[in-house]
Structure 1
């Protein structure tokens, strides 16, 4: 009798273990009690972007009876750290919306699922610009796709400027002619943050240089361009303290005739200065036009529900819905299929930004982004207010960046 009781208890323990294991497996696959697959989507959006995303998620859930998507807001400043923690513990969200320049870092960190086969079979990348494709791939494999893009360009007051400058010589000359007692010819953020880096680095790239050769004569000429305009008071002394939104205020209040600004700043200009006459152009070049790409991408968490998650990605990238998304959020497409539509081609500002995005590039600094970013904006500040020449400032930055690049 005692032996039978022990055997019975043992069977119960084994059966309980099996049931718990099955239950755990079900949870890892995102199954809910009503038989649906529940997908967790992490994002850092607020305001209009968040409300627009919620609208699309609600629409998706209503039209997909076996899938439910739940949104989880994670502040931008915390997203990367939370994803790294999740990757270590095997607890990642099914879907991730994050910065377009973070895709490669996330992929290398084991956060993202390889979706190359899905992308290839869907044809989603066929009309995508090559520069956009590259920042979504690691070792030839896709780890995400862009939801939208944006970039920086030259904004100019059309009451003062009929034809915008196309090269550095024209930019300097025009800035000098337009500078008065109450107005600066040119404005760009030289802030000690990402704002300063994003505003200046297109000038660096325009020379054909990059952060790996900051001591080259070409790189030095890019910083010297800003240094000269700053010293000649063609730029306000306050640009070293101003973020992009502050530069925008200078522009739409008439304190600056031209500025380096982002496409996301357009709604603010229209709201705050509806009577201002303005337009945009490519950033004046040295050798080639360039800009820095921005925007957000969507990806699947490694080891998560790939099939169901891919359905949502396809849903979001369906051409008509993508067009609606871009209109609602004020962003730009990542390929010619949508960029060639009348909405972008028949409006000069939208057409220009669509063109700028073709020649834009991502940082590609991955896990070293903060260190490289800091070295770049510090060099800008050193040259403008720190007493260093452009050559000295970039040598200091190079001493920081070169060992980082050599390790990777």
Structure 2
């Protein structure tokens, strides 16, 4: 399951206005008795079936059934609004982590502390992803992030090790660039994919999404520019989404890439590809990487049906028991959010240990800017697109990005 969503169809002030107008907290239509309803983005057949398996496991002892309504990720917000307007919003609303702030800001979600949902033992990053202004509204069973995935054979042939620092990344990528193979690949598309991949470099370099023009994010932009202008990465990165990056890696046209654990099934299916995972390079050796935390969180919308809310809360508690988190994480190649479950997952899946380590230090995209994230995301994407296409230098691009973020468009 990809870590980031395409920009929601309705965001920011428009979302707040529509939620208020439609009355998200109302639920006039009488829901089906004995059935807990869920709105999510599990349109993939495997994910949908796995979801239903765990929903059934947790609902059966309560004497109820669970019905999923699954729509593409970029349509969840709009679908929730339409359901709210017809007073048929689901009992459980599963949102991308970056969307929680917008919905919580309207008052349409229940604080989990009021529902009996157990949020103890969660990683700090998982708590942050499901929170808004210090209150937790959502809980994730598992999360994902990014790491450096590399072709073991190509690195061995070039006599190099996985790079740990930015300087090593540039020199290693240069040595790995041969013929039609670039040393490094990443996504720099002007959308959620590109921003998700840029954030580990931006944040580890001390960039601040709330103050884009303070100059601290410029070195990260310069790093990406150096990789492209030095021909260690293709200039086509400005058009590659995360799936495109994976395709380049599988085809042997990239020796290293930034990507996430959702690519593991495809990578594992390549019999002649030997790959491994390492931490994303950082400015100075010894630093911890700070990638974004990705995935979805389950929330409980405010409705008039307290009994249904109580049942939904019990289902969330069951889904997030340690054994269920570990099993679910393994089924979707994501890292459990309870610390104890994550340790067990890491032990049982050593090849993906780097992802578990990255998640431990990952950050929520909305922690600093809250409901303003969609505007900031657009501004950031404009900055690296401008730099990589030669239209602006890093500091200038970030000043322009701050102006764009401040103006709201």
Structure 1 gaps, min length 5: 1-24
Q: 2:152 aligns with which of 155, 158, 164?
A: 158
Q: 1:314 aligns with which of 303, 313, 317?
A: 317
Partner of 1:179: 177
Partner deviation per Cα, 1:297-343 (whole Å, 9 max, x = no partner): 111111242211111111211222222211222211113211111x4
Are the equivalent residues in 1 in contact too, given 2:143–2:336 (CA < 8 A)? yes
1:388 has 2:387 as partner: no
Are the equivalent residues in 1 in contact too, given 2:39–2:69 (CA < 8 A)? yes
Alignment RMSD (CA, Å): 2.3
362-371 or 252-261, which moves further after superposition?
Answer: 362-371
Larger helix share, 1 or 2: 1
Partner of 1:12: none
Secondary structure at 1:340's aligned position in 2? Answer: helix
Aligned residues: 371
Map 1:248-263; keep pairs closer than 5 Å. Answer: 248-263=246-261
Aligned partners of 1:251, 1:128: CA distance in 2, in Å? Answer: 34
Are the equivalent residues in 1 in contact too, given 2:145–2:291 (CA < 8 A)? yes
246-255 or 74-83, which moves further after superposition?
Answer: 74-83
Compared CA separation, residues 93 and 177, structure 1 to 2 (3 A): same
Q: 2:333 aligns with which of 326, 330, 334?
A: 330
227-236 or 331-340, which moves further after superposition?
Answer: 331-340
Aligned partners of 1:140, 1:368: CA distance in 2, in Å? Answer: 16
Secondary structure at 2:153's aligned position in 1? Answer: coil
Aligned partners of 1:125, 1:163: CA distance in 2, in Å? Answer: 40
Aligned partners of 1:237, 1:126: CA distance in 2, in Å? Answer: 45
Aligned partners of 1:317, 1:251: CA distance in 2, in Å? Answer: 34
Partner deviation per Cα, 1:239-279 (whole Å, 9 max, x = no partner): 111111111111122211111111101111112x2221211
Structure 2 gaps, min length 5: 1-25
Q: 1:146 aligns with which of 133, 140, 143?
A: 140
Aligned partners of 2:81, 2:38: CA distance in 1, in Å? Answer: 16
Partner of 1:194: 192
Aligned partners of 2:135, 2:93: CA distance in 1, in Å? Answer: 18
Compared CA separation, residues 144 and 158, structure 1 to 2 (3 A): same
Secondary structure at 2:379's aligned position in 1? Answer: helix
Are the equivalent residues in 2 in contact too, given 1:185–1:234 (CA < 8 A)? yes
Aligned partners of 1:96, 1:286: CA distance in 2, in Å? Answer: 39
Q: 2:123 aligns with which of 126, 129, 132?
A: 129
Aligned partners of 2:363, 2:171: CA distance in 1, in Å? Answer: 28
Offset of residue 31 of structure 1: 5.8
Partner of 2:299: 299
Compared CA separation, residues 88 and 50, structure 1 to 2 (3 A): same
Secondary structure at 2:102's aligned position in 1? Answer: helix
Aligned partners of 1:212, 1:366: CA distance in 2, in Å? Answer: 10
Offset of residue 403 of structure 1: 4.3
Compared CA separation, residues 228 and 301, structure 1 to 2 (3 A): same
Aligned partners of 1:346, 1:93: CA distance in 2, in Å? Answer: 35
Secondary structure at 1:351's aligned position in 2? Answer: helix
Secondary structure at 1:215's aligned position in 2? Answer: helix
Q: 1:239 aligns with which of 237, 240, 260?
A: 237
Partner of 2:11: none
Map 1:301-380; keep pairs closer than 5 Å. Answer: 301-303=301-303, 304=305, 305-341=308-344, 343-364=345-366, 365-380=369-384
Are the equivalent residues in 1 in contact too, given 2:129–2:293 (CA < 8 A)? no
Map 1:394-405; keep pairs closer than 5 Å. Answer: 394-404=398-408
Partner of 1:208: 206
Are the equivalent residues in 2 in contact too, given 1:187–1:235 (CA < 8 A)? yes
Compared CA separation, residues 213 and 285, structure 1 to 2 (3 A): same
Aligned partners of 1:43, 1:230: CA distance in 2, in Å? Answer: 37
Offset of residue 63 of structure 1: 2.8
Compared CA separation, residues 347 and 62, structure 1 to 2 (3 A): closer
Aligned partners of 1:145, 1:190: CA distance in 2, in Å? Answer: 29
Aligned partners of 2:141, 2:36: CA distance in 1, in Å? Answer: 18
Compared CA separation, residues 97 and 277, structure 1 to 2 (3 A): same
